């Protein structure tokens, strides 16, 4: 689907998407269209349950008096409540409804009154962003899909001022990062494994990101024993990829992002049950989000220094796999007793986080990981878990999450949990003796490897893959965390 911007004018053909406010209130633009159709829009609204409330929609097909194929009315709610999220939803909803209807071409026509607290250009850019995010589809392996099931909308025009196109620029860069991350997460484990995921990250060189790939030999030399222990059961060798975007002041400490990249998690010798194991192809979503985020920051030329470190392994059982009870040496010097090989995310993050803070001395370090099933029990698919050793960092992340609709819920860290991972045989063990508080235990483990840097951990296991469509996220890979962290960077370091 192509998105373009054009000067505000009512289109002659195709579909017209028209916002309506609460109480079936048409804007001046809307009233003009209604008049051209001889009052069809007002009559259609009066004959329906459409009130112009947020997320409501009403399709008026082949209205008389105009050559339009249809007018899609979408509710924006009360003018005082209109914000970026509502305009994104409008764009997303329009794409979904028009594809379902078999429409080929559409124009979103915004009136100044539709912009709410935003300017008209920003409002138009948000609607375009929502449309782009909802239009995402991972269909490269579907060779026999029936034409009537395929999306039809080929061109979407957002009618607004010229400034809208400029306002869309940075948003488009973020959307490009989201699309890349969703693609990587959607790919199966036979296609995306440490080497191929590292290759994909190398593609960011085109965007101006410096990319280094550390191979097994380099990881051994660095002493990343907890990461290598996870990787040793797979025939696919591990990689750590370091990405740097230097858009800030020369020499200024960067903000760092670390991603869990388990390209497939069988559990290893502590093997998972068969049912649902296919989901573990998306156990690399943390790393995909970090890669996509670096692409987004570079794409919009963010005025910050940022570094992304992703730890890429495949967790497999096999003759050379690590055993429960094995003791490994982490890069930090701490020894780790591996009591459950399925608690592997924390093992690879231990070395990746230690390496990241040791080498880059970042201002703050944020890791993303599909770390625990327990966070799904706690928070479901609504919030991701937020753990932090710094209250300001936690608050800023939570605020950014609210602003973009990727919500976080803060969970505790405490010495009383920490002592549960003291090991009798080594410095630390990778699971606790009892089952309670599984997500917190995972976070406590990572915390032992972050040293003194302000750090936050986002457990995204429940929000990374969605089972149903929402306004701007089609079901499947969400890239949750990417828009959030982009916003966090913009609000915290670029203002």
Ordered strands of the 335-338 beta sheet:
326-329, 335-338, 428-429
Among 111, 342, 367, 459, binds Mn ion (CB under 5 A): 342
Contact call for residue 384 and ligand BES (CB under 6 A): no
Contact call for residue 374 and ligand BES (CB under 6 A): yes
Rounded to 5 degrees, φ, ψ at 441 are -60, -45
Distance (Å) of CA 478 to CA 23, 127, 200, 261, 380: 33, 18, 18, 16, 15
CA atoms of 314 and 311, how far apart (whole Å): 10
**Minimum separation from the CB atom of position 374 to Mn ion (A):** 12
Contact call for residue 345 and ligand BES (CB under 6 A): yes
Contact call for residue 314 and Mn ion (CB under 5 A): no
Of the candidate spans 110-118, 366-374, 417-425, 484-492, the one that interacts with ligand BES by CB under 6 A turns out to be 366-374
Of the candidate spans 189-197, 238-246, 259-267, 443-451, the one that interacts with Zn ion by CB under 5 A turns out to be 259-267
Asked about 272 being catalytic, the answer comes back as yes
The conformation of residue 311, written as its DSSP 8-state character, comes to: E
Among 164, 197, 262, 285, binds Zn ion (CB under 5 A): 262
The conformation of residue 274, written as its DSSP 8-state character, comes to: S
Contact call for residue 367 and ligand BES (CB under 6 A): no
Spell out a b/e string for 466-481, using b for 16 or more CB atoms within 10 Å of the CB, else e.
beeeebbbbebbbbbb
Contact pattern for ligand BES over residues 233 through 262, marking x by CB under 6 A:
------------------------------
Among 161, 334, 340, 470, binds ligand BES (CB under 6 A): 340
CA atoms of 472 and 303, how far apart (whole Å): 27
**Minimum separation from the CB atom of position 457 to ligand BES (A):** 14
Size of interface with ligand BES, in residues (CB under 6 A): 16
Rounded to 5 degrees, φ, ψ at 319 are -60, -25
Catalytic residue from among 54, 78, 236, 272? 272
Is residue 387 helix, strand or coil? Answer: strand
Q: Nearest 10 degrees: CA dihedral of 101, 102, 107, 112?
A: 20
Contact call for residue 438 and ligand BES (CB under 6 A): yes
Q: Which residue has the tokens 């903000």?
A: 255
Of the candidates 287, 257, 321, the residue with the CA atom closest to the CA atom of residue 194: 287
Q: Which residue has the tokens 């860069």?
A: 173
Contact call for residue 283 and ligand BES (CB under 6 A): yes
Contact call for residue 370 and ligand BES (CB under 6 A): yes
Contact call for residue 56 and ligand BES (CB under 6 A): no
Among 103, 183, 337, 344, binds ligand BES (CB under 6 A): 344
Is residue 182 helix, strand or coil? Answer: helix
Tokens representing 435 are: 């089952």
Which one, 210 or 327, has the nearer CB to ligand BES?
327
Which one, 27 or 263, has the nearer CB to ligand BES?
263
Contact call for residue 265 and ligand BES (CB under 6 A): yes
The neighbour count for residue 435, using CB atoms within 10 Å, is 9
Asked about 217 being catalytic, the answer comes back as no
Pick what 372 binds: ligand BES, Zn ion, Mn ion, none; C-beta below 5 to 8 Å, kind-dependent.
ligand BES
- Which sign, positive or negative, has the C-alpha torsion 133, 138, 140, 145? negative
Catalytic residue from among 70, 86, 346, 487? 346
CA atoms of 315 and 336, how far apart (whole Å): 17
Catalytic residue IDs: 272, 346
**Contact positions toward Mn ion, by CB under 5 A?**
265, 342, 344
**Contact positions toward ligand BES, by CB under 6 A?**
265, 279, 283, 340, 342-345, 370-374, 431, 438, 461
**Contact positions toward Zn ion, by CB under 5 A?**
262, 265, 283, 345
């Amino acid at each position: 689907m192509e998105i373009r911007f054009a000067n505000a004018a009512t289109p002659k053909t195709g579909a017209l998407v028209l916002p309506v406010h609460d109480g079936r209130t048409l804007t001046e633009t809307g009233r003009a269209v209604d008049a051209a159709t001889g009052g069809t829009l007002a009559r259609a609204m009066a004959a329906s349950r459409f009130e112009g409330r947020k997320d409501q929609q009403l399709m008026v097909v082949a209205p008389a008096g105009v050559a339009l194929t249809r007018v899609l009315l979408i509710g924006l709610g009360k003018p005082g409540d209109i914000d970026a999220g509502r305009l994104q939803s409008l764009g997303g909803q329009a794409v979904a409804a028009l594809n379902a209807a078999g429409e080929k071409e559409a124009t979103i026509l915004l009136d100044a009154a539709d912009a709410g607290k935003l300017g008209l250009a920003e409002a138009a850019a948000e609607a375009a962003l929502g449309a782009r995010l909802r239009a995402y589809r991972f269909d490269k392996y579907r060779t026999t899909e029936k034409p009537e099931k395929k999306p039809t909308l080929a061109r979407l025009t957002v009618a607004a001022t010229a400034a809208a196109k400029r306002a869309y620029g940075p948003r488009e860069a973020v959307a490009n990062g989201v699309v890349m991350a969703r693609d990587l997460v959607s790919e199966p484990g036979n296609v995306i494994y440490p080497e191929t995921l590292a290759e994909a990250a190398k593609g960011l060189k085109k965007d101006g990101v410096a990319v280094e790939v550390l191979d097994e030999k380099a990881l051994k030399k660095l002493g990343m024993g907890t990461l290598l222990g996870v990787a040793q059961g797979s025939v696919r060798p591990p990689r750590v990829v370091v990405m740097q975007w230097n858009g800030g002041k020369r020499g200024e400490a960067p903000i760092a992002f670390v991603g869990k990249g388990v390209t497939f998690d069988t559990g290893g010798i502590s093997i998972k049950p068969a049912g649902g194991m296919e989901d573990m192809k998306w156990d690399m979503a943390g790393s995909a989000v970090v890669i996509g985020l670096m692409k987004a920051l570079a794409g919009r030329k963010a005025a910050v220094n940022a570094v992304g470190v992703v730890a890429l392994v495949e967790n497999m059982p096999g003759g050379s796999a690590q055993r429960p009870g094995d003791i490994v040496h982490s890069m930090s010097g701490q020894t780790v007793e591996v009591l459950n090989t399925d608690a592997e995310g924390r093992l690879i993050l231990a070395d990746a986080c230690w390496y990241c803070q040791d080498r880059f001395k970042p201002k703050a370090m944020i890791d993303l990981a599909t770390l625990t099933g327990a966070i799904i029990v706690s928070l479901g698919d609504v919030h991701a878990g937020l753990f932090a050793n710094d209250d300001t960092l936690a608050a800023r992340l939570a605020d950014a999450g609210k602003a973009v609709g990727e919500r976080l819920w803060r969970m505790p860290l405490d010495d009383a949990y920490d002592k549960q991972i003291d090991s009798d045989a080594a410095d630390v063990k990778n699971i606790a003796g009892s089952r309670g508080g599984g997500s917190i235990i995972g976070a406590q483990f990572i915390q032992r490897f972050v040293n003194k840097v302000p750090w936050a951990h986002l457990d995204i296991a429940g929000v990374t893959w969605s089972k149903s469509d929402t306004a701007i996220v089609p079901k499947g890979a969400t890239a949750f965390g990417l828009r959030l962290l982009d916003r966090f960077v913009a609000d915290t370091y670029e203002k």
